[in-house]
Structure 1
């Protein structure tokens, strides 16, 4: 056990909704001290009411601000006695549109939240993770990190970057005895998903609509097992193998799909 009161602890960004919220609720229910951080103050207040003030620490945080992140991590350390069992870098935003048509400030915002903030969080958390036996640096990547997704190219690029960073950290952090892993969710029913994407989701298979709770359960498994990449649903692993074996064929399939979607508009 770890932490000042014997509870294990998890620091979650993007905790006010979707995957982050479900993960916070799940870990709290299983006895962990939860740090919930988000820019959505109302969502955090609702989460705190459900978990209870003694179940964690809940604060607004701009994950792209290194100083604010360091301060949040410092306050969390005070509550846990200087330990951290799991950093869950989960905060993310969607960014749709063709690259050449997106406002540059939108591009920078997606890169800032989805990738730069992950590095900020990992750097801020490393001393606490290193001080905690069996700790994990966990990040939400995406099925868009398997093959670049047209129409959300910037989002997809950040998730590829997250996957690469996770692989590198899984080696770098071993010098502290810290593990690193990522989650690669498919179509998750969160506020980031558009109504059009929900309507297109098939009833089963790897592109079915998945509840955030399923991803939270996978985060729980990730802490208790030593695996690098976690696909949600697991069938996405087969798609990854296909991409490795026949990337040009996948490219042509995706090109045809994009053309079909454009024709339907």
Structure 2
């Protein structure tokens, strides 16, 4: 590898949005670092992309030492540069807050928030050393307005969105760009079975392929835009939640799912 070849470090790369992003960037000649707890998925990905184009490693994003070791092995393979850090790893565990197991709550916070904090904190030196680098993170449409039924997940994604905004200001001092993607319903393994098929065929809650997010990561590298929405209609919810939070709350409270729960006591 030479320092002229651009590189991307992707967490949650074994499937879904992370895997499609790895495929897209490898196809454009980038060196890909692919990380996940799913080692079988990573091996399949490396076979597909080729060992010369893809470095894989099991990574627990909640373990700071593990993250540091992953970056330490990635840096020389990537020629000492990190053009994009894509903090994509996440888990989705939901249910009514008062009924959700405490262990699930902690796990969601650890992976979706602490994993992002650790990744950025440990990657800052490499990002600083790479001209025009991008720190990019997967947030969620649930970061536009708190989503009932996935309250803790939504809270972590709100935190990611706020972190992105704050660091986009701080990191300007050393030329590192910061942005995020707020996906709606993406057809990946994180969804419950049948959810994509049952989704509306149009509008902001239509099911989108994971390739749509991969394309956004590519576009974000060419841009200075802060928030990216997949699909773009999610931006409308973001605006509504800011301008009329009470109306947004009341509209969501009238959805069939939550009316059924209230009637059931």
The TM-score range, normalised by the shorter chain, is: over 0.9
1:263/1:104 CA distance change after superposition, 3 Å: closer
Q: 1:221 aligns with which of 219, 222, 246?
A: 219
Give the distance between the partners of 1:261 and 1:220, measured in 2 at CA.
41
Give the distance between the partners of 1:236 and 1:264, measured in 2 at CA.
29
Q: Which runs of 5+ in 2 are unaligned?
A: none
Q: 2:246 aligns with which of 239, 245, 248?
A: 248
CA offset digits 1:187-233 (Å, max 9, x no partner): 00000111353244110111110000011001100011110000011
SS in structure 1 of the partner of residue 178 of structure 2: strand
Q: 2:103 aligns with which of 81, 102, 105?
A: 105
Q: 1:82 aligns with which of 43, 63, 80?
A: 80
Match of 2:258 in 1: 259
Match of 1:124 in 2: 122
Q: TM-score, normalised by structure 2?
A: 0.96
Match of 2:148 in 1: 150
Q: 1:66 aligns with which of 61, 64, 67?
A: 64
Moved >4 Å (runs of 4+): none
Give the distance between the partners of 2:117 and 2:44, measured in 1 at CA.
28
Give the distance between the partners of 1:37 and 1:58, measured in 2 at CA.
6
Match of 1:92 in 2: 90
Superposed CA RMSD in Å reads: 1.5
SS in structure 2 of the partner of residue 21 of structure 1: helix
1:164/1:237 CA distance change after superposition, 3 Å: same
Offset, 1:11:
0.1
Q: TM-score, normalised by structure 1?
A: 0.96
Q: Which runs of 5+ in 1 are unaligned?
A: none
Offset, 1:123:
0.7
More deviation in 198-207 or 51-60?
A: 198-207
Match of 1:41 in 2: 39
1:174 equivalent in alignment to 2:136: no
Give the distance between the partners of 1:230 and 1:41, measured in 2 at CA.
29
